[in-house]
Amino acid sequence: MNKAKYSTVIITDKHSHETKIYSIKQKHIENIVLYKRILLYSTISILFILTGLMSYIGYEYYQKQKLHGKIADLESKLDSKRLIQMINNLDEAEESLLKIENYLKEREVKTFTASGVNGSSNNSNIGGEYHPVNDLNADLIESKKERILDLLTKIQSVPIGLPHIGRLTSDFGVRKNPMARRGGSEFHPGLDLSGKIGAPIRVTADGKVSFAGAKGGYGNCIIVQHDFGYETLYGHLSKINVKSGQKVKAGKIIGELGNTGRSTGPHIHYEIIHNKEKENPNKYLQIK
């Protein structure tokens, strides 16, 4: 029979100088060392996992901030473009008004000179209550205002931006078929943006709802018809807040994000159709 191995531990009290001797089995000491190693390795593993988790959270936050920055830049560019258009149109209006005013002044001078009236005359038709040039200027300025408003209306009728700010889970173009067990590829005609069920979905341009209801693999779906041959489609909704035939303004909440139809998780499927052709929505995220 093998005898158990012991280790001797001597403890001395420095005040009383009393000494105590203990015999501890070797296997107990080995167990203590083993437990310390397990604790050390567990601590290192936990720290490694926490570091990876923090890195992932940081990356997700960076991506979200990046997307928010892109949207803010888009809004800034949109406002800038509108302002530039307004300024350009007002400059054109001012230039046109100056030319017309100078032309009419020359005509008035020639007419008055031919009829024997000089510029210092007190005739009530000259410098009195009747101001043909001023009246014409007012009409032209009003016309330019209408043109500017028309331009702004046209801009609002083109789908720009995104219906929901979320993580891009599938881009436009050829992709791996997410529903096929053995792989395979398919053409994805829009953008998939993930989010929480019930998140608001906003229409990206002024238009009229042409469809609102269940639509095959799209699940609960809304299609909005816009001017200039544009249509936008919003799929996999959990709730539809509009009806077919209803007019909507850009930014209006038309539904809620969901997971209906051919879907592997909560998200919004967004498409842009121009003249019956599916287009890449990424081209409409910024104004060049």
pLDDT over threshold 80, residue 199: yes
For residue 62, what pLDDT band results from cuts at 50, 70 and 90? confident
Contact assessment for residue 196 and residue 257, using Cβ atoms and an 8 Å cutoff = yes
Residue 171 sits at φ, ψ, to 5 deg, of: -95, 175
* pLDDT tens digit sequence for 228-282: 899 999 999 999 999 999 999 999 999 999 999 999 899 999 999 999 999 999 9
Q: How far apart are CA 167 and CA 4, in angstroms?
A: 64
Characterize the bridge pairing of strands 6-12 and 200-202. unpaired
Instruction: Give the pLDDT mean for 202-214.
Output: 96
CB contact at 8 A, 160 and 132 = no
Nearest to 12 by CA among 1, 20, 23: 20
Kindly state the DSSP code that residue 240 receives in the 8-state scheme.
E
Report which residue type is found at 152.
L
Radius of gyration for the alpha carbons in the chain, expressed in angstroms and rounded: 38
Tokens read off for 256: 């809620």
**Angle 93-97-100 from CA coordinates, rounded to 5°:** 140
pLDDT tens for residues 120-146? 444 434 344 444 545 555 666 666 667
Q: Max Cα separation, the chain? A: 146
Distance CA 214, CA 223 (A): 11
Position with higher pLDDT, 60 vs 192: 192
One-letter amino acid at 107 equals: R
pTM exceeds 0.75 for this model: no
Q: What are phi and psi of 246, to 5 degrees?
A: -80, 135
C-alpha 174, offset from chain centre? 23
Which residue in 21, 17, 147, 34 sits closest to 86, CA to CA?
Answer: 147
Query: Which residue matches tokens 């007012």?
Result: 138
- 191, 170 Cβ separation under 8 angstroms: yes
The fourth-level CATH superfamily of domain 168-284 is Glucose Permease (Domain IIA) (2.70.70.10)
Alpha-helical runs (H) found in the chain:
26-114, 132-156
Q: Which residues pair with 10 in a beta bridge?
A: 21
For the chain, what is the mean pLDDT?
A: 77
- Report the candidate in 216, 232, 217, 65 with the shortest Cα–Cα distance to residue 157: 232
